[in-house]
Structure 1
Amino acid sequence: MGGVNDLASSSTLIKDTWYDGRGDALLLEDADVVGIVKPKKKLIDWLLPTDQLGLKVISVVGMGGLGKTTLVKKVYDDASLKSNFDHYVWITVSESFKVEHLLSNIIRQLVDEVKKPPPQGLEAMNEYEMKEYIYKFLQHKNYIIVFDDVWQILVWETMRYAFPRSDTCGCIIITTRYSNIGNVACSENNRYVYELEPLPKEESKMLFYKKTFQENSCPLHLKEICERILKICAGLPLAIVVISGLLATKNNKMEEWELFGRSLGDEFEGENLKRMDKILSLSYYDLPYYLKSCFLYLSIFPEDNSVRVNRIIPMWIAEGFVHPKQEKTVEEVAETYLRELLDRSLIKLHETYSDGRPSAYRIHDLIREYIISKSKEQNVVAIFTGRGEMMWPNKIRRLALHTSVNYMEEEYDNLKYIRSFLWLGSEDAAEFAQVLEKVLANGGRLLKMLGLERAPIDTIPSKVFKCYLLKHLNLSYTDVLHIPKSIENLQNLENLNLSETNVTELPIEILKLRKLRHLIAFKSPDDPYMPGFGQGVKALYEIGSCLLSLQTLSCINAGEVGGIKIVREIGKLTQLRQLSITNIKREDGNELCSSISKLINIRVLYISSSSEEELMDLDYSLQSPNSTLPFLDTLFLNGRIEKVPQWINPYSLHGLTELRLLWSRLKEDHLVCLEDLPNLVQLVIVDAYEGEGFSFKAKGFQRLKDLTMANLRGMRWMRVEKGSMPLLEKLNIDKIKLMVEVPEGIEHLTNLQEVLFLDMSKEFLVNLEGQKSRGGKDWKLSHVPQISVFDVDMNGEWVEKWNFNQANS
């Protein structure tokens, strides 16, 4: 929704005097606001009294500039609520709040409403006395109290018991940038948390045009530049209003608009966008010291990129940004850093793992422009994007190249102190070789982080192995074929990423890298059901005796090396969090299970057989002291097993959230072994069952949200009993040719949001269309918002046959 912005007091951390402007949100006319109807209705529905008495807490959460204050103020002033509540109080909370001032303010507003003077001795009252006064005043009353722009959970914790909880319809509304504050405040009731989203594209345009041109259209010659600027604003109302206000002064002159668009990042450093800069600075300066560098470092990635957590965390660690804590690995500490940035709405969650942990995030384009500006100011990272002229700092410590740099020859002398280099440039091999040569020649001895993902390279330059301080080396998605013996020189190396390269064997010298924590060297197969898993590298002799710091080993070949069984060595790597192992044979089963039982820290486990026909005999009990793998959350079994291993049970794998069974060829219905796994969220069954049908029993799979069943050649039917899979949101049925009807009982899956049918039989598609056309009780999918059907044409290409969005019909 589009108000000017949020209201709060000026930060005490920003010393200069400036016009904040957040208070304008309280003065907006309805004509100045767009996109407010839907969220306003939702909040009013939550606020309206029900038959159930008690205190209701509602949180409105979102990044600065989304319009939280504007929304809540329009709700607060809505006439439809006035007759339902006796008292209204609005409190603006500053970052340096004092409890006594907040309580005193509440009392003054309450008595002012009933035309009474403040109680005698109010100034002399202590905190307890003021809370008691408020409690008695509001007892048996209906009231709304707003705490706007809350920065600390302490605000709610110190105020909560001032409000009666019974014989009343009390409503507290909290606006905050911090999702953890919003969730904690609402934890006692039904979790009324409204996460404010950016404006949709059309509403962004409406607000931008209205503020810039005072009408609902844009001059034709400015259409393209308007689109580019709106893309940067990305639905942030504050950004749209501030930037449109600035552009409204440029009299629609094309050259001035173009200049502004090209230099938008630089505008943060001048007067034009100072107000926007200050709003974002409130969040930046509120960061604890250990998050500031981590946050600014995110500017290293290009715009529109989704950045994976397992990519940024090793880089933070190599840079020395992550401070170890007792009882936690540095990787776990880094994950808490990312969680803090998410909680503060400074980055946005893009993808999650099956257990709910963040796996990828995005940065709002305008926040990215801000951190680029701030990073440049503090010389954290020098970023070359190819947009305009680059003013290089005298001492470049970190350099990210996003595009061609073949005309920046004269700037390479600034690289004497470089510590980190990230290549995201062109695919020109000659240019890359020239750039890397300069980086290694001038500053290679100080390098700690070298990121060469997708670089046009097939051989690692010898000078890389003279970077004795190097901690992080990423060669993923390159054509590198060979790792030389001189790798042993990199004694400080902690992270070596060779994923999707052509490397199939590692030199024995790698065993001398005793600090190595992450060794990633898989080559993915062309299989959508097995992401990040495939061909493994030849395992290393005595790996279990040498690389004791390993947390990630992905992916190694289980073949015997030097007379030593690798499956036996695995059990010595007790720090492992992630293990991928291929080429498992039947005779490896017992020792592999014995080794797995010793990996008490394992989180992710991928096991693959030597071939589709090879039987993996994994039906052994775990031999650890408590016979459990308490942290295992993801398990992939790729190969014939014929029987679900006995250690896959609710006791041993209590924390398992994702399970994939491929090629299993189970001879009987083994779902009974899986349905009681208490935390299973995602289940994928591909070519893993040879029976005629599946029956999902009542009370089974109580946490499952995502189910995929594919390539089940003998399966004809699927049945869902009432009470099974109550949380299921997504169902994929792929290439089950003998199935001619939708699953029986699918109407019981009331939480289902999406159903996808892929490469099904013609009879199935005819029956599906017939049921849809007849409607009524025949249409068992009437409750599903999104239904998609894809078929395969003669060229093996996917063709969309049906895409029905019932939510919008």
Structure 2
Amino acid sequence: MAVVDAMLQVLTQQVFTILKEQASFPLDFKDQFELMKTKLDLTKALLADTENLNEKKKVVTANLIQLRDLIYEADNIMTDCLVRDEYEKEGSCTSLTFKKPLFWYQTGKKLKDVNSKLDAMERSLGIHLKYQEQSDHGGKTTQVTKYTVQDYVPSEVIGLEEDLEKLKGWISDTKDKLLRVGIFGMGGLGKTTIAQKLFNDQHVAARYDKMIWVSVSQVSSDRRIMRSMLEQLESHCSVSDEAQMLHKLNELLKGKTCLIVMDDVWKINRGWWNQFFSGLDGAVGKGSCIIITTRKEDVLTSMGVGRSQFHTPKVLTNNDSWLLFSKSAFSSCPDAQFEKVGKEILEKCGGLPLAIKAIASLLASKSYSIVHWNEINKNFHESTADANFTPVMMSLKLSYDELPIHLKQCLLCFSAYPEDSEIQAEQLIHWWVGEGLVQGKGSKTAKELGYCYLSELVTRCLVEAVHRREYDGRVYCCKVHDLVRELIIRIAEEESFGKFDEHGRQEMTGDSRWLGFTSEMNPEIFRKSSKLRALLITSADDHVVFDRHIGSLGSLRVLDFSLTKLAKISTEKLMEWISSLKRLAYLNLSGVVGLKELPKSFRKLRNLQFLVFAGCNELVKIDHITSLRKLVVLDLGSCLLYLPSGIEKLSHLQELSGFNVASNSRSPTGFKFCDLEKLVHLRVLRMSIGKDSEITEKEREVLLKLKKLKVLSIDAQDCEDNNISTMLNIVLPPPSLRELYLRRYHRDTLPKWINPEKLSNLQYICIENADIIDFQTSPKSVDGSVFRWNIEGLRFKVLRNLKLDWKNLEKDMPLLRYADVSDCLNLQNFPRPINNLAIWRRRVD
């Protein structure tokens, strides 16, 4: 129940905010909020106890599902109160004054009802936990994991030969006293198999005096790890004190070359590991090696493994997959029809050795029945529920179980996307934040933290990065492996977030919380979908149909049309229906291509935080968004010529995209460049400047006042007007700037402020389609010292006039480690051919 725990945290914070800030609420409300906060704190403690149960008993599962429903009900009440408060702050509730007592009465009644149900839930969970505790201590022996030498049955290793040769090379060529090697990747990829093969290789073994294998697994006790090692070095060891055990280990290994394998490490006690490695470094002989296998990349980093000694096994090729499959599934040369079906099944295994072995083992027992093979091929997802598949699914389940709560809830969201979907990271993260699954922490905004969460899921090999920014690894597009999705939809169904058919396709029920809507679905399903919180249109065609029932989705927080083109729909009716979704937090209208104007009713969406119009090229009027004071992200793409006056009132705005700088004379009532200075929380600004734009001398410090601005993108709209360079030279950027993008700038020289003195914190620069001849070298200060760039990554694209010596650039950018260069034919001494695209990375020794 990952999302239950996460929503508890969100709801507790909302209650705290209301108690702290909503002084206008009646006293009776405050009493109920105080009571709710107390009950939520207790429920969080009880929920933490249920996480420790070995098995979720039926009563716990049922209670947790009911608890989640209660939390969502309470979240709706909180949201309604906050939306109401937004109206009152603006003074736009005068027409509703006569309804105010009714609203407070109904809200108070709902709060009391939720608190009463929470009280009953606490009693039920408490009684069950007490019973469970008695059962756990009623004479049953507690099972303790034993750490022993890995039992290894020699077998032919298929498709891992290159991996083995690479790691053998590292081992044989090392000059380190204690080489640390890391093998990481998702479960079933062959990490342990590779380590086993190395451990049992006679040529490898001949190099070492001592060989130790420790199966660490999830229950990693420092004492147990040391005990396992000591038992392999000395048959009778009576030492029990941890300090003495560590001393004994160092004594037994002193001066000896050794190979130690730490298999399946999940988490570490960093203090203990540092002490352990420090002792080993001082004891073992030169040329010793420790190999760590893990599903988590950060484990290797924490254990001091250098990135040059990271190794991730690749999935098997088609040929190697078939070879492995054949050896397990067939006792002799297969019949043609078995081979055909076998290869179709094999495609679904994605090259994962563990998945291939598991499916082949099941098919081997049915080797004389092509009917059974066809059934398994047809019902692959259903077949994986069979006990024969526990090695595959359990390896993935263990990866899921080990995730922290905030990552579990994020991973489950992938269940709403069809199989093999390539998912835009920004869409996914907007969903996470809009529904409250991710919240800002410290100096990081919720969106920035969302990117961190996605990167962590990629690092743990549960999500695959399809496209990412090379210099810092930011994920732009991602997907999940079929087997991972199978696990996700299984858990999502167990926890009543959705229902899926035997082919893994989502089916709508009255209890569904998330839905990926396709053209095959009937919009009538929305009539009984009042609990739905996230709706994503996942069909890429324009045949998706909607009707008035979309307005009945009262609990909806997320609505995304970005993956479709609604060219045949009445946008007026659609917008009226959307306007009734008062709890909506994220709205992406990019696929509503015929949208021209937002209706006045759009002002009702007072809870809206993310609003995306990119792709709405017919849009001309959005005046009513100025009432949406909670907006955090506003993305207009390139659809609007000028922004309306009043955008400066959106004081919480952190990201503004599609801002065309207006002329004071041509658009006297619109949003001007000078109005930007009121958006003090802005972190990302994407703006266009053209021949009709105007930036005056009085506005030179506007950007300088945006102290939190990190990303600035400027599009000069292919304009060659001299005023462009004049205006941009006036601008003074904030020193906080981390990323700068300049596109279609047709002047010989860059704006004067693009230099390392003004942009001392700049880490990434991208210049595309420009006529610049030179790039700013490092200027000298008054005392003669030279300013150097702190840039780590850059992109130069279609800079045909640029005359620059790469060696000089490297001197000016000592921290540069990544460069993407294309169509810069006058660049000198670039270390790669640059006829088309060249990628350069600094060599790390």
Q: Would you call these one fold, judging by a TM-score over 0.5?
A: yes
* 1:606 positional shift: 1.8
Are 2:186 and 2:461, in contact at CA under 8 Å, matched by a contact in 1?
yes
Between 153-162 and 136-145, the greater mean CA deviation after superposition: 153-162
Q: Quick one: which of 224, 229, 253 aligns to 1:138? A: 253
Q: Are positions 1:36 and 2:171 aligned together?
A: no
Q: Are positions 1:72 and 2:195 aligned together?
A: yes
- Corresponding residue of 1:197: 314
- Corresponding residue of 2:545: 432
The 3 A distance-change label for structure 1 pair 269 and 439 is farther
Q: How does 1:583-598 map to 2 (within 5 A)?
A: 583-585=689-691, 587-588=694-695, 590=697, 594-598=701-705
Q: Name the CA distance, whole Å, in 1 between partners of 2:506 and 2:821.
A: 49
Point out which structure has higher relative CO (alpha carbons under 8 A, 6+ apart).
2
Q: Name the CA distance, whole Å, in 2 between partners of 1:563 and 1:456.
A: 33
Q: Name the CA distance, whole Å, in 2 between partners of 1:258 and 1:178.
A: 37
- Corresponding residue of 1:420: 534
Q: Quick one: which of 517, 523, 544 aligns to 2:632? A: 517
Are 2:579 and 2:605, in contact at CA under 8 Å, matched by a contact in 1?
yes
* 1:93 positional shift: 0.8
Q: Quick one: which of 281, 294, 306 aligns to 1:164? A: 281
Q: Quick one: which of 644, 662, 666 aligns to 1:559? A: 662
Are 1:555 and 1:580, in contact at CA under 8 Å, matched by a contact in 2?
yes
CA deviations on 1:700-740 (whole Å, 9 max, x unpaired) are 45525333343x7xx6x5420xxx66xx7x84538xxxxxx
Secondary structure of 1:292's aligned partner = helix
Q: Quick one: which of 646, 659, 682 aligns to 2:794? A: 682
Secondary structure of 1:445's aligned partner = coil
- Corresponding residue of 1:530: none
Q: Quick one: which of 349, 359, 365 aligns to 1:249? A: 365
CA deviations on 1:617-639 (whole Å, 9 max, x unpaired) are 25547757xx6134x22422332
CA deviations on 1:22-42 (whole Å, 9 max, x unpaired) are 9998534333x2112111111
Q: Name the CA distance, whole Å, in 2 between partners of 1:555 and 1:290.
A: 32
Q: Quick one: which of 660, 684, 696 aligns to 2:766? A: 660
- Corresponding residue of 1:803: none
Q: Name the CA distance, whole Å, in 2 between partners of 1:105 and 1:388.
A: 43
* 1:540 positional shift: 2.0
- Corresponding residue of 1:508: 623
The 3 A distance-change label for structure 1 pair 601 and 224 is farther
Q: Are positions 1:266 and 2:382 aligned together?
A: yes
Opposite residue 481 of structure 1, the aligned amino acid is: L
- Corresponding residue of 2:436: 320
Could you say what the CA RMSD is over the residues aligned between the two structures, in angstroms? Answer: 3.4
Q: Quick one: which of 465, 468, 489 aligns to 1:372? A: 489
Q: Name the CA distance, whole Å, in 2 between partners of 1:282 and 1:490.
A: 41
* 1:403 positional shift: 4.7
* 1:469 positional shift: 0.3
Are 1:619 and 1:643, in contact at CA under 8 Å, matched by a contact in 2?
no
Q: How does 1:424-503 map to 2 (within 5 A)?
A: 424-425=538-539, 427=541, 429=543, 431-434=544-547, 437-441=548-552, 444-458=553-567, 459=571, 460-482=574-596, 483-503=598-618
Q: Quick one: which of 755, 779, 785 aligns to 1:649? A: 755
* 1:239 positional shift: 0.6
TM-score by length of 2: 0.74
- Corresponding residue of 2:48: none
- Corresponding residue of 1:707: 820
Q: Are positions 1:539 and 2:656 aligned together?
A: no
- Corresponding residue of 2:124: none
Opposite residue 265 of structure 1, the aligned amino acid is: H
Q: Are positions 1:61 and 2:61 aligned together?
A: no
Task: Please list every run of 5 or more consecutive structure 1 residues that lacks an aligned counterpart in the other structure.
Answer: 1-10, 524-534, 735-742, 753-809
Opposite residue 597 of structure 1, the aligned amino acid is: L
Q: Name the CA distance, whole Å, in 2 between partners of 1:579 and 1:107.
A: 59
Opposite residue 29 of structure 1, the aligned amino acid is: P
* 1:612 positional shift: 2.5
The 3 A distance-change label for structure 1 pair 274 and 171 is closer
CA deviations on 1:770-791 (whole Å, 9 max, x unpaired) are xxxxxxxxxxxxxxxxxxxxxx
- Corresponding residue of 1:280: 396
The 3 A distance-change label for structure 1 pair 307 and 219 is farther
Aligned-pair identity in percent equals: 25
The 3 A distance-change label for structure 1 pair 277 and 549 is same
Q: Name the CA distance, whole Å, in 2 between partners of 1:605 and 1:684.
A: 17
- Corresponding residue of 1:184: 302
TM-score by length of 1: 0.77
Secondary structure of 2:590's aligned partner = coil
Opposite residue 709 of structure 2, the aligned amino acid is: I
Are 2:468 and 2:474, in contact at CA under 8 Å, matched by a contact in 1?
yes
* 1:412 positional shift: 5.1
Q: How does 1:554-633 map to 2 (within 5 A)?
A: 554-560=657-663, 561-563=667-669, 566-585=672-691, 587-588=694-695, 590=697, 594-615=701-722, 616-617=724-725, 620=729, 628-630=735-737, 632-633=738-739
The 3 A distance-change label for structure 1 pair 453 and 259 is farther
More helix by share: 2
Q: Are positions 1:208 and 2:325 aligned together?
A: yes
Opposite residue 231 of structure 1, the aligned amino acid is: E
- Corresponding residue of 2:206: 83
Q: Name the CA distance, whole Å, in 2 between partners of 1:518 and 1:105.
A: 54
Q: Are positions 1:548 and 2:651 aligned together?
A: yes
Residue-pair matches, total: 680
